[in-house]
Amino acid sequence: MTPNNSSQPSQSASSKKVDHRGSLSSYQIYVLVVLSIIGAPLLNFPRFVATEAGADGVWLSVISGLLVTGFVFMVSKLCQRFTGQTFVQFIPEIFETKRMKWFGKGIASLIIIGFALYWMNQISFQVRLFSEATNTTLLPKTPIEVTIITLLLASTLASYSRPAVIGMLNELLFPIILIPFALQLYVVFKKGDWVHIFPLFQSDWKGLCKGILSNGLGFSGFEVLFLIMGYSQKVDHSSKVNTRAMLTAAILLSSTVIAQYFVFGVNALSKNLWSALDFYKEVRPELLVIERIEAFVLGIWVVIAFIAITNLQFVLVRTICEAFHVKEEQTKYVAWSLFPFFYGGAMVSENISDFFAKFQEHSYVGFIFSIVIPILLFLLAIIRRKRSSPKKKDQKGGENHHATST
């Protein structure tokens, strides 16, 4: 008594191996990259930069942004060589030899495990950070566990969606996340003082290198490209799109750093745990219904946190599914089985200062890993002239761009 399910695309899709190639448009990839980068850094990045790079953090954030943009260009070029393939598929190809295929697979497994651990660390860090900020500002009486579990439940529920759905979700939420950046300008014009950014050029060479590295840490998240480039519709222009995305993220984050330097100055900023929240407390818009603007901004940051964590979880879940050839309908089991690890990771620290110290150590290691490995892969791919065969280059049409998919 029901219509044949064959006419219902959403139901029929899961019954067989689903090819997600060509699922994401260039714009969706652009948005995905931007939103994966500007998650947690919004909350702690300016303070971190002030602590690590001192007064020179203002211009070092711009330099780091440009350096990472160049790096993203290289990653894009690497992925372009393997059209329609994710890093899970192309890393073994780079390392394998005709005689020793197992060698490629072995090395690839190590690298993939490395990335997976790095992303797990990032997810736990972001969940804890946003939960702490939420509890500080909005829910002071609620236990942190409740906030962490709620945020993780929501992001896990989203993380096993199809790539096309994740692309559309990012696309839809992107305009909302730009609101705090517009408000930032208002705060700077009202309370900012350009004297606060001086004196510049105080660091020696060692300090500058440390500053650039610490700034670069704020731009981590671009590694999602390794996976999502495999789902891209238009690979030919992807390096341009990805570079633009990285530049956008760099502009947004650098502007946040500069704005907070303008308002607080380096000393006050380096001592302020929740500088991002205090930044918006500086002004009280008299004409608005909402009295405290920082709570409104935090409401939007919940959106940013949700989407950033979802993106990272999505990439991690898909990586595991691809590595172990998990069927589409079983993706959700993978996503839910990771839940305790994220929760455990987020709860590993007793207090917030311990938490910052631990995770930033791990993040440094992870970030260096995510910089060194792609350079190695890129050079090896060029030297060994590795690229995908022409047959694999044929992209399947994107499912979210078809009028119908019966």
Partner 1 sequence: MKMRKLRFLRDQKRKKILEQQSKNKVEERSENKGISKNLDENLDFLKNVFGNSTDIITRTFAMKTPDHSTGAVIYIDEMVNKDITHNYILRPLMQEEIQDQTDIWKNVVQKLIEAGEVKEITKMKEVINGILSGDTIFLLEGTTRALVIGTKGWTTRSVGEPRAESVVRGPREGLSETSTFSLAMIRHRMKDPDLRIQSFVIGERTQTAVSLLYVEGLTNEQIVETARNRLKDIKIDGILETGYLEEYLQDQTWTPFPQIQNTERPDSVVAHLLEGRVAILVDGSPHALIAPAVFTQFYNSPEDYYERYLISSFLRLIRLFSFAIALLLPAFYIAFVSFHPELIPDQLSIAMAAGRASVPFPSIVEALLMEGSIEVLREASIRLPGPIGPTIGIVGGLVIGTSAVQAGLVSPAIVIVVGMTTISSYANPSYNAAISIRLLRFPLMIAASILGLFGIMIALMLMILHMVQIRSFGVPYMTPFAPLRWGAVRDAIVRVPWKYMNARPSFLKPQDRYRQKNLSSEEAVKTGRDASNDTK
CB of 250 to partner 1, least distance (A): 21
Q: How far is the CB of 239 from partner 1 (least distance, A)?
A: 17
User: Which of residues 246 and 377 has its CB atom nearest to partner 1 in the complex?
Assistant: 246
Classified as helix, coil or strand, 395 is coil
Query: Tokens for 117?
Result: 């651990």
CA–CA gap between residue 111 and residue 373 (Å, rounded): 8
Q: In this structure, are residues 219 and 64 in contact, taking their beta carbons and an 8 Å threshold?
A: yes
Structure tokens that stand for 19 in this block: 């090819």
Quick one: 66 or 173, whose CB is closer to partner 1? 173
Rounded least distance, CB 161 to partner 1, Å: 7
Residues that bind partner 1 (CB under 8 A): 1-4, 7-10, 25-28, 134, 138-139, 142, 146-147, 150-151, 154, 157-158, 161, 165, 167-169, 171-173, 289-292, 295-296, 298-299, 302-303, 306-307, 400-406
CA distance 142 to 150: 12
Q: Which is nearer to partner 1, 27 or 364 (CB)?
A: 27
Question: Is 254 in contact with 65 (CB distance < 8 Å)?
Answer: yes
Q: Write down the least CB distance from residue 402 to partner 1, Å.
A: 6
* Closest by Cα among 269, 265, 286 to 278: 269
Q: Which is nearer to partner 1, 56 or 171 (CB)?
A: 171
Both tokens assigned to 341: 């690890």
Integer Cα distance of 279 and 139 in angstroms:
19
Least distance in Å: CB of 21 to partner 1?
A: 16
What distance, in Å, lies between the first and last C-alpha atoms of the chain? 20
Q: CB nearer to partner 1: give 35 or 111.
A: 35
Shortest Å, Cβ 370 to partner 1: 27
The rounded distance, in Å, linking the Cα atoms of 283 and 131 is 24
Q: Which is nearer to partner 1, 353 or 405 (CB)?
A: 405
